[in-house]
Amino acid sequence: MPSRVRLTAVILLVFAASTVTAVDASARTASTTLPGFTQVGAVFRQNGFETYRATYVRCYAPAEWRRVAPSPLTVGFYRGGSWIHVREATCLNAVKVLKGQVNYTNAVAISTLLHETIHRQGVRSEGITECLASWMTGHVVLAWTASVTKAIRALGYSRRFAGRLERQYRTTDDECVRIASTYGIGNFEEEEPEPPTYTPPSPPPPPAEYLVGHNVGTFPTVSGTAPYGHRTVRIWYSTVGPYDLRILMSGSGGRTDDTYRVQGVGQFDLPLQAGYPAIRSGGAVVVGAIPDAYWSFNNPGQSKIELRVITR
């Protein structure tokens, strides 16, 4: 975490403790304050508001809010001086952001506090103020949570809310980016994903020949798993006469299915190409001796199949 963000986060954790205590006091009074809210000034000064004016918040219980609010639809207002005024529920939801609970309701709550704070800094235009509040919402969330992902999410929630307000509060996203840049509000750098964990493969066994399996019967089948690093599959057979020998091989990234005609006693090798997946990861090999229909009537004897893999 950059030292600037870490310092701000420590300061704002003090804000978290003081805000929770202050809001809980509302059960005894008609209104209360967020005494630590002035600490957001550090975030403002880092984002273009070098001459930030200290701002204080008063949170009103429902009955008191109905008395002081300009209209029933008002969620916050600023009437001059050092104080901004919001509903108690807005204060409670804004404090939840300190715990990393970044959802739509909580992001709108902190954005409301910051909207009125920006009015306190002397910005009168509702459209510009709402735009700046959205961006500052992201930066305050970044300072509290040290998470770029949560900051960008909070910015998006705030912009979505702004789009639902009356016309004088709205700006396009492109306009808002230009406004934020003009005021000196910083952009967000995407968090770099952690590099994937690399597990080096096990070293291949020394050159050797491995017997995977063998079988005897009228229709013998052999199956097994080839060891790591094999280069060749060797098939040994003994049969009365001609068989279609079906060979299936599977690796982590592919599968082969081929048929070979064999007769009598012999063997043959199947070299694996350098890129075949089974070379790197090992793979299953299944060999089935399947006689064709004609010779199945004239093959009373038993056939033998032996399957080996060669690593040299």
Burial 52-68 (b: 16+ CB within 10 A, else e): beebebbbbbeebbeee
| Residue 193 tokens, joined | 């994903």
Residue 61 to residue 52: CA distance in whole angstroms = 28
For the chain, the maximum distance between any two Cα atoms, rounded to a whole number of angstroms, is 108
Please name each of the domains of the chain with its CATH number: 3-183 (no CATH), 209-310 (2.60.120.1300)
Pairwise pLDDT comparison (269 vs 130), residue with the higher score: 130
Reported pTM: 0.56
How do residues 70-116 score in pLDDT, each as one tens digit? 988 899 999 999 999 999 999 999 989 877 899 999 999 999 999 99
How do residues 232-287 score in pLDDT, each as one tens digit? 777 877 776 677 787 777 665 567 778 888 777 788 787 765 544 444 445 666 76
Question: CA neighbours within 13 Å on the CB side: how many for 181?
Answer: 6
How do residues 5-64 score in pLDDT, each as one tens digit? 433 443 344 454 444 444 444 444 567 777 677 789 999 999 999 999 999 999 999 999
How do residues 189-211 score in pLDDT, each as one tens digit? 765 556 666 666 666 556 666 67
The CA-CA-CA angle for residues 88, 113, 18, to 5°, reads 65
